[in-house]
């Protein structure tokens, strides 16, 4: 099954044990297994699905980097990303049908999904994260 290029982000809320690592690096590249661990342990998780060849994914990456910096002091939020070309299981596991895709999770449950780069994406994402954390 192929994936077309349209932006998406995932947000997860989980435990505090991984937050300091996330604070240092902003967006953290992870595998499906690592994402699952974050989903179980963090209060809020934002998960970005991307591919190197996807032009809109680069715009989403810049927005996520800025938003992650705004929440750097929060120990409740993790910003993660998965390259769907490197970890093809992510497409099926998280039902990603377009890139970029960003999914926001709270306590391991999906609360919002963004596909592509919606208007006011940064503002909407920041408000959502603030309301969940």
Active site residues: 54, 57
Q: Which two tokens stand for residue 47?
A: 């998960």
| Inter-residue contact 119 to 98 (CB < 8 Å) | no
Beta-sheet pairing, 77-83 with 109-115: unpaired
Distance CA(129)–CA(87), nearest Å, equals 26
Say how far residue 45 (Cα) sits from the centre of its chain: 7
């Amino acid at each position: 099954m192929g994936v077309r290029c349209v932006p998406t982000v995932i947000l997860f809320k989980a435990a505090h044990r991984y937050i300091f690592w996330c604070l240092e690096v902003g967006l953290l590249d992870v595998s499906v297994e690592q994402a699952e661990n974050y989903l179980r342990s963090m209060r809020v998780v934002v998960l970005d699905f991307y591919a190197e060849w996807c032009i809109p994914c680069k715009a989403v990456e810049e927005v996520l980097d800025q938003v992650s910096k705004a929440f750097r002091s929060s120990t409740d939020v993790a910003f993660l990303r998965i390259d769907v070309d490197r970890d093809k299981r992510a497409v099926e596991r998280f039902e990603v049908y377009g890139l970029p895709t960003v999914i926001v999770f709270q306590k391991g449950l999906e609360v919002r999904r963004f596909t592509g780069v919606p208007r006011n994406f940064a503002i909407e994402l920041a408000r959502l994260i603030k309301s969940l954390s």
